[in-house]
């Protein structure tokens, strides 16, 4: 739940920054800033800016960062451009389902029947909320819409796979002592930032639409963008993801990712206050369903 709450802050912050400098620039800058913060924290704590992991940990955790934080996030931004955030986030509600299946196959995780019921109820509520926040006037070419759905599906699978790989890197590699969340996120973020720089560089040369751009004639407010990126980084790839890693190390991945998926529900009051959105009865009903599902998971 702490992860979902922190991701509310990061979502609002990165949205505001993206309006000033574009989403791809925000994605790269937040990744580089997160690496700087995490490595500085490691240096202060352990005397070294890099985690002292063996090759196996670097391979698994670095791969999880590349899959979940670099490829997954950029696919999501690209789907925002192609089919809009409403349909994209609706697809992302499937991430806990994929995480549940991948964890069962890769690590033999099983969840109880009551937990499955809680996951189903929670995700249903989240889906209702996301669907209710419809963007009027959306229209898409059929081929473009299908491509956008594939992008969103890829982002969903990458997010789920990244979390499962991270849990395996923390708990399943056979090490005598499981790595802590600070070292784990550092080992994920460093390769993720490097690979993201390559992806954006190649995409720019190839002319790919990888994220939202600043409208022509808009004069970016550099100070506002920097403040929002800093706040979003602290709440997202640093604090939020470290809470997520702590959660998946102590809970089944499917349960943990379901609770993290509550961000669209928790963001509703802020959407009203900050963005001026109007709550609908459907949004409120969806939020109530999601809270009921979370209660089931808490009691399971």
pLDDT digits (tens, 9 = 90+) for 48-69: 999 988 889 999 999 999 999 9
Q: What is the pLDDT of residue 130?
A: 82
Q: What is the pLDDT of residue 15?
A: 81
Q: What is the pLDDT of residue 175?
A: 55
Q: What are phi and psi of 50, to 5 degrees?
A: -115, 145
Q: What's the maximum distance between 2 C-alpha atoms anywhere in the chain?
A: 57
Give the angle 241-244-245 at the CA atoms, nearest 5°.
90
In the block, tokens 């926040």 appear at 133
Please count the helices (runs of H) and the strands (runs of E) in the chain. 15, 0
Task: Give which of 94, 88, 159, 163 is closest to 124, Cα–Cα.
Answer: 94
Q: What is the pLDDT of residue 133?
A: 61
Task: Give which of 152, 178, 183 is closest to 167, Cα–Cα.
Answer: 178
pTM: 0.87
- Of residues 130 and 173, more confidence is placed in 130
pLDDT band at 47 (very low <50, low <70, confident <90, very high): very high
Average pLDDT, the chain: 87
CB 119 within 8 A of CB 57: no
Most confidently predicted of 90-99, 172-181, 182-191: 182-191
Tokens found for residue 153? 């599906």
CB 1 within 8 A of CB 251: no
In the block, tokens 């949004």 appear at 283
Nearest-angstrom CA–CA distance, 174 and 186: 20
Q: What is the pLDDT of residue 140?
A: 58
CB 257 within 8 A of CB 99: yes
pLDDT band at 242 (very low <50, low <70, confident <90, very high): very high
Residue 227 burial (CB < 10 Å; 0-12/13-18/19+)?
A: middle
Nearest-angstrom CA–CA distance, 149 and 222: 33
CB 30 within 8 A of CB 9: no
């Amino acid at each position: 739940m702490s992860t979902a709450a922190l991701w509310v802050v990061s979502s609002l912050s990165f949205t505001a920054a993206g309006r000033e400098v574009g989403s791809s620039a925000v994605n790269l800058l937040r990744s580089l800033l997160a690496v700087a913060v995490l490595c500085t924290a490691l240096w202060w704590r352990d005397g070294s800016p890099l985690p002292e992991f063996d090759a196996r940990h670097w391979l698994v955790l670095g791969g999880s960062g590349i899959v979940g934080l670099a490829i997954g996030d950029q696919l999501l931004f690209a789907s925002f451009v192609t089919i809009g955030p409403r349909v994209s986030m609706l697809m992302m509600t499937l991430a806990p389902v994929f995480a549940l299946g991948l964890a069962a196959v890769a690590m033999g995780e099983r969840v109880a029947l009551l937990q499955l019921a809680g996951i189903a109820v929670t995700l249903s509520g989240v889906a209702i909320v996301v669907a209710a926040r419809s963007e009027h006037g959306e229209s898409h070419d059929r081929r473009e819409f299908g491509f956008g759905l594939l992008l969103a599906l890829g982002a969903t699978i990458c997010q789920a796979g990244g979390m499962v790989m991270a849990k395996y890197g923390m708990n399943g590699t056979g090490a005598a002592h499981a790595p802590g969340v600070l070292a784990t996120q550092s080992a994920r973020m460093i390769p993720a930032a490097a690979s993201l720089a390559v992806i954006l560089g190649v995409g720019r040369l190839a002319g790919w639409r990888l994220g939202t751009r600043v409208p022509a004639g808009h004069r970016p407010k550099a100070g506002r963008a920097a403040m929002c990126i800093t706040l979003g980084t602290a709440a997202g790839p640093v604090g939020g993801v470290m809470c997520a890693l702590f959660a998946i190390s102590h809970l089944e991945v499917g349960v943990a990712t379901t609770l993290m998926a509550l961000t669209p529900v928790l963001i509703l009051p802020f959407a009203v206050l900050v963005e001026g959105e109007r709550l609908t009865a459907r949004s409120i009903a969806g939020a109530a369903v999601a809270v009921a599902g979370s209660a089931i998971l808490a009691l399971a």
